Every structure is written in structure tokens, then in C-alpha cells.
Amino acid sequence: MKQSGIPSNFTNAMSVDVEDYFQVSAFEDVIDRDQWNSLPLRVEKNTYSILELFENNNIKATFFTLGWVAERCPELVRDIISQGHEMANHGYSHMRATEMTPVEFREDISKAKKILEDISGVVVQGYRAPSYSINTSNPWAHDEILETGHTYSSSIVPIHHDLYGIPDAPRFIHRCENGLIEIPITTTRLLNRNLPCGGGGYFRMLPYWMFRMGLRRVNNIDQRSAIFYFHPWEIDPDQPKQTNIGLKTRVRHYLNLDKNYNKITELLGDFKWDRVDRVFLDSI
């Protein structure tokens, strides 16, 4: 068995959830959707910073993009495609799937898919639910994703979490009963538990060496490719601060925003990365 400390020869999938700071689910009770159009966009500038970072490191990635953002930043969508990245669907309104009926869900993801395809000129194969909001309460979501023309979903995190997750879900890429491909966010197995090592708030809050170790275990012990994600607002320490939120939300959203760009840069250099479709779809 390979040891987890040695470099991996596996190529992993890098992904970005393209949404602005005011669209996160944690702020849905303090920033109404009716306010979105009156707030200054920061997602465009932050995403261009990510594109520059990827170009400097010769990395291609998958951008799960909100239809709402694409409508307002069409040139950004076209630049993502022109630079060789994959365009994927993050829904239109960033409403959690658990808060929608099947009909509402279908309308939301269909609307976003059409917007993204019309602007980019490419077929959108992938979908990721806002806040990983597909769980045991809405198994119908996978049928809607498939029936709206998507090939794969990356919407499940197989961990215990107070806001999302299916702890006993498969850890790695698999086909659902309806044939849709699901690519769960990466975890490492340690002490009979699934531990997160696929990005997001955990990546910002925990020491970098823990994530590096977890990803190397996935590559070298599980012999699998990993999938990682982050958001443009997670490299933006100057974003407007919300004052009417609880302590837990404040910590989760703002902790280490000033350090995350450098951590991501280090991550890009420590592992091999490519688009989700090229890493996973060919393998299955």
C-alpha cells in the first residue's frame, strides 16, 4: 500500500461555485432576494482573479455558475469557456433544492441551463445543487436533473453536517438508479468516519496540512481521484460584512478569508488538477 505522504500521480477535479457573497444560503434570512439587484457585484472581479490564478498554474477547472450571475456577467461566462474551462449549472436563484417542489426545481435548473448554454455556446453537462441540498428528503431531484438534460451531478457530501450531507452515501463516483452520474464531494475515511477534504468552509478553517493529507490518502490509499470546490467570495476579505448574523454563521463565512487565496495557490501546486468532465466522465 502506498503511503499518504508521497506525491500522487492521480489527476483531481477542481471546481468553482460561481455565486456572490450575498447569495449564500447562510445569509438568506438577512439579505432578501429582492435586494440582490441593488447590491454591487463582486463575483465578476473575484472570478477573474481565479481565472488568472488558474492560468498562471496551467490548470483547467469546472465552473458551476448561477444563471442569475450569468445573466449579469455574460462576458465572464464566455471568457471561462474561451480559456478552456468547463461550464456547469448551479441553478438560477441559489434556492436550496430542499425548499422547492419538483416542479419549481425543474424550472429553476432548466432556466439556468438555457441561459448558460445560450451565452456560452456549449452544452452544459453538470449540475451542483446550492448548499449541497440533495439528501434523503428529496431523492426525486436526481430524476429532475437527468430529465433536464444533465449527464452528471455533484450535489452530495457524504458527511454529518447540520445543514447538508448524507453520511452513508457512496464516497466516490457512481451511477444513480436512473442512470445519472453522481460525483460526491471528496472525503477521507479515518477512524470509521468520513472526514471532509473537498473544500469549502472546512478548507478555510482547518490547517492546510490536514487537507493535503486527506487528499493524498484518497489518491494513494483509495486509489481515486478527488473533487475540490471553493467560491469566489472565499478569496475576498474586503467583502461587505453582515452584522445581523449569529456567531456561528459569522465564523463559518468570514474566518480566514484573508488566507484562503494563498492556501488555494499551495493546493494547486501540490496536486494535479483538471475539469470535472475530463477527470470523471471518461473513467465511468
Q: 11-48, pLDDT tens digit by residue?
A: 999 999 999 999 999 999 999 999 999 999 999 999 99
Residues 6 or more apart in contact with residue 112 via CB below 8 angstroms: 66, 67, 68, 70, 89, 90, 91, 92
Q: Check residue 2 and give its pLDDT.
A: 36
Euclidean distance between CA atoms 146 and 174, whole angstroms? 14
Phi, psi for 87 (deg, rounded to 5)? -95, 130
Euclidean distance between CA atoms 160 and 128, whole angstroms? 19
Please, which pLDDT band fits residue 3 given cuts at 50, 70 and 90? very low
Q: Which listed CATH number (1.10.260.40, 3.20.20.370, 3.30.70.100, 3.30.70.1110) goes with 11-281?
A: 3.20.20.370
- In this structure, the number of other CB atoms found within 10 A of the CB of residue 50 comes to 23
Over 50: is that where the pLDDT of 187 sits?
yes
Over 70: is that where the pLDDT of 280 sits?
yes
Q: Check residue 197 and give its pLDDT.
A: 95
Mean pLDDT, residues 63-74 taken together: 98
Q: Check residue 4 and give its pLDDT.
A: 41
Mean pLDDT, residues 166-177 taken together: 94
Annotated domain spans of the chain: 11-281
The model's pTM is 0.96
Cell numbers of 173, please? 463516483
Q: Check residue 1 and give its pLDDT.
A: 31
Mean pLDDT, residues 114-128 taken together: 98
